A and B are shown apart, each in its own frame.
Chain A
Amino acid sequence: MDNLQIAIPEIFLLSATCAVLIIGLFVKPKSNTVYWLSQATLVVTLIMSFAQIGDETVTGMSGAYTIDSLSATLKTWILVVAIGIFLYSRDYVGERKIQRHEYFVLCLFAVAGMMIMVSATHMLTIYLGLELLALSQYALVALHRDNSRAAEAAMKYFVLGALASGMLLYGMSMIYGATGSLDLHVIADILAGTSSETLSAERTIGARFGLTFLIVGIAFKLGAVPFHMWVPDVYEGAPTSVTMFISTAPKIAAFAMLIRLLVGGLETLSADWQQMLAIMAALSMVVGNLIAIAQTNIKRMLAYSTISHVGFLLMGIVGVTNDGYSAAMFYAITYAFTTLAAFGVLLAISREGHEADTLEDLAGLGKRNAFLATIMSVSMISLAGVPPLVGFYAKLSVLQAAVGAGFAWLAIVGVIMSVVGAFYYLRVIKFMFFDEPTDAVDIEIAGDVTAGLAVNGLAVVALGIAPGFIMAACIAAFA
């Protein structure tokens, strides 16, 4: 029983999700009952996860599952972001031929998958969580089944995602072959030489070989160059609410997976993965930012922007220092809720038969709805890394980690690329404020969505002025 206690939030979430799934069969398709039940589930899970912050580290289920301040903090933020996602997508999903009950239930399953990834300290649990998340996402992308682009995106996503999972599994099996364990604590001990077992030189090479495949798998899931090809197509093809989902909370979970595998399990091999991550970070920042300039579809642009931000996130980790890990964690969290605000605005201005997915659709938004335009601008300026918004501190902290670890060249690549990035973020503002509207239809937003966007936008500003407490939480996670 003691073992199960550490997974109480996840157990509750899964049980409640199953209940919501069944209740969904008995309510009218148009009703919002499932939405409210899903939100209630998330809120209760959020409270449970939040209560775990500050608890002592507990590992249970034969080493497969761990709660520590890292997992509690990340879970809390995943849930906060998920609540925002549900709120913003409610009306969007309702207006379209998307099965809304299934939509929310699939999202809940994906959230459960993410929470499992965050706490997993065993390769099998990591895989379990990852696949729960990935399978839900494939289905979500395909949910708009009458849309051929969505179907194409889902197909691409599924094939490439399955390939990545295969890579990851192959790497895990190699490491299992070398160390004889799938438990990351045990693997860490064996590699570090602190366990009774020691590794022969050949076996260490085997572990390194496995590490390479692991990194390929992780890079695929994160969308780092050169494993980023799926990102733009999926972002563009998926319904906007699903794009919002894919681009926000799962990045936090993927960060956790990276930390659990590379830092928790294989930190002894850091000299090997450090170089790989540094190259991927540089490539992601360069490719992501440069190609984003050429995009006219805003979802595609945000896809390349995500790729570049993954590069920044990796920059925090290459230093192999606790400061760097907490910087990357701060980056992942703030990136998620800043992007959330941008997608929230896109969803608010989309309506049935007229998706807002090109830059032209934003033209003159400042005149049509100054509130939405302001929220979007705040989000864009923050993503560009201009103070005093929160994105600046995220960049500052990863740059500091990189410079401190002797990766000054990477930091310089990063800042130059952030100037390139500023160009396309500013272009969004240009369309909204400097151009005349091309569309005169009034934008209607529900009151609670307005409130949600206001809080979200305000958080980006307020955390820019006082980012201290999230930063402190991120530092505590690696103390």
Chain B
Amino acid sequence: MSFPILSLTIWLPIIAGIVIIVAGNEKSRKLAMGASVLTFLVSLPLYFGFDASTAAMQFTENVAWLPSFDINYALGVDGISMPLIVLTTIINVIVVISAWEVIKDRPAVYLGAFSIMTGLMIGVFSAMDAILFYVFFEATLIPMFLIIGIWGGPKRVYATVKFFLYTFLGSVMMLIALIYMYREGGSFAVLDLHNLILNEQQQFWIFLAFLAAFAVKIPMWPVHTWLPDAHVEAPTAGSAVLAAIMLKMGGYGFLRFSLPVAPDASAGMDTFMIVISLVAVVYIGFVALAQRDMKKLIAYSSISHMGFVTLGIFIAFQLIAKGDMAGVALGIEGAIIQMISHGFISAAMFLCVGVMYDRIHSREIADYGGVINTMPIFAAFMVFFAMANAGLPGTSGFVGEFMVILASFKANFWIAFLAALTLILGAAYTLWMVKRVIMGPIGNDKVAALTDINRREFWMLGLLAFFVLLIGVYPNMIGHVMHASVENLVQHISTAKY
């Protein structure tokens, strides 16, 4: 067995998190910074050492964990999960920067919780055993529950309990499905589940169970209502991690479980899934337009953007029916790039709101106006991220959406038409917010007293801007690592299981 690099990226932040909590508030910042940078460095070999020519799992580890249950500590990554892991480690560094001076109440616990959560989220993306996946998937709820509950806004208790129960209800259904499949096939290994023969009815119920877990996580309309509450109440970094990574666990779950395990049921349910994805894209886009709270607006914008992810995934089955395999891969790759890009952009948007909130302690759009006059550098960043959020070509926001719309065109003009509406809607709500907050004359005395971003904030936003541009200009840097895995997935889901 080679060097267990995946285990290291999972356990390094978890152990570091415990050390940070134990070490106390004084040393916590430096320790957290060191740990997050180290985790990022450790995750780099995953990208640079990745063999893009194969769809097989790489960096695999497999140790018997609970032999009496056939549960293994099995890890591995392919082109779908690897970029998400690197995204997680990057966002972790940014979280530490964002918390540096801002969190005054028990910073050690705060940073420690984020560090532990990072390890758990990497575990979600690299688990190759269904129960191990479930364990990581659920365990991430605990630190997030505490983060929102302790450092959140005035309605934090309601928001965090709602967040926890919603996602918990979804995932216990998945647990039943996993147990059922173990009874059928005698294995919890993810790749064995992919090849498990299931008839139409079995697939249908399993698909629904997975849907309960992942739709809540993404979140899809109409089970999205926990997200605006959680986002608004969470501390800035909490919102950023929630939007940037935790939502991706839902999209990843579809690609790793729903589609390959129940391809025929997925194909049968595709119209339904496409319709609710479009509802998310269009209806939630309009809802975003009506928001007065900036964080709420970005939260709804997240739901709308994640609608693209599910659309890209499920448009595949319409294209398979037409025999357009290239289009299928286009849609799924678009969905994955959209996930990564949304990870950076949504985190950046939440952090921008956080920067303003730290100064004025308001998230209301009406409390701002003319911020550009007092914070020109910040305004430049904010406008840039807003453009990216609206899908400006040259930014990462454009690439994924464009690929998904292109794939939709191959399937059905009207689906593509509705999906493309979001380019207008997204521009409308984002830029309208920017207009009211950033542009115009100085709105009030508080805005007049604003000071521009300091070096810490500059680095935090600059780093994100760098990645948004990098993916926008050179999307193939993610694209090339996932081609083989996506091809393999397309191959798998286009053949019926029974």
Contacts and interface: CB of A to CB of B under 8 A. Distances in A.
A137 B251 CA distance: 54
Interface stretch (A90-98, A280-288, A400-408): A400-408
A434 B157 contact: yes
B142 A381 contact: yes
B361 interface: no
Interface residues of B, number: 33
A149 interface: no
Interface in A381-404: 381, 386-388, 392-393, 396-397, 399-400, 403-404
B384 interface: no
A418 B172 contact: yes
A472 B176 contact: no
Contact of B146 (A404, A415, A422, A433): A433
Interface string A407-441: 01001100110110011001101100110000000
Contacts of A130: none
B164 A426 contact: yes
B217 to A, nearest CB: 15
B183 A403 contact: yes
A277 interface: no
B295 to A, nearest CB: 20
B296 interface: no
Interface string B128-151: 000100111011011001100110
B175 A468 contact: no
Contact of A430 (B66, B135, B149): B149
A430 B179 contact: no
B172 A415 contact: yes
Contact of A467 (B66, B157, B182): B66
Interface string B142-177: 100110011000001100110011001100110110
Nearest to B131: A396
A411 B209 CA distance: 13
Interface of B, secondary structure class, is helix
A274 B173 CA distance: 25
B68 interface: yes
A388 B176 CA distance: 17
Nearest to A471: B68
Contacts of A400: 69, 179, 182-183
Given A426-B164, A433-B146, A412 B139 contact: no
A399 B176 contact: yes
B314 to A, nearest CB: 26
A475 interface: yes
Interface in B29-73: 65-69
Q: Which 7 residue pairs of A and B lie closest in terms of their CB atoms, listed nearest first?
A: A415-B172, A387-B135, A419-B169, A434-B149, A387-B138, A403-B179, A400-B179
30 contacts: A387-B135, A387-B138, A388-B135, A392-B135, A396-B179, A397-B69, A400-B69, A403-B180, A411-B179, A412-B176, A415-B172, A415-B173, A415-B175, A415-B176, A418-B172, A419-B169, A419-B172, A422-B168, A426-B165, A429-B149, A430-B149, A430-B157, A434-B149, A434-B150, A434-B156, A467-B66, A468-B65, A471-B66, A471-B69, A475-B68
Interface of A: 381, 386-388, 392-393, 396-397, 399-400, 403-404, 408, 411-412, 415-416, 418-419, 422-423, 426-427, 429-430, 433-434, 466-468, 471-472, 475
Given A415-B176, A418-B172, 14 more contacts: A387-B134, A387-B135, A387-B139, A399-B179, A400-B179, A400-B182, A400-B183, A411-B176, A416-B169, A419-B165, A419-B168, A427-B161, A434-B149, A434-B160
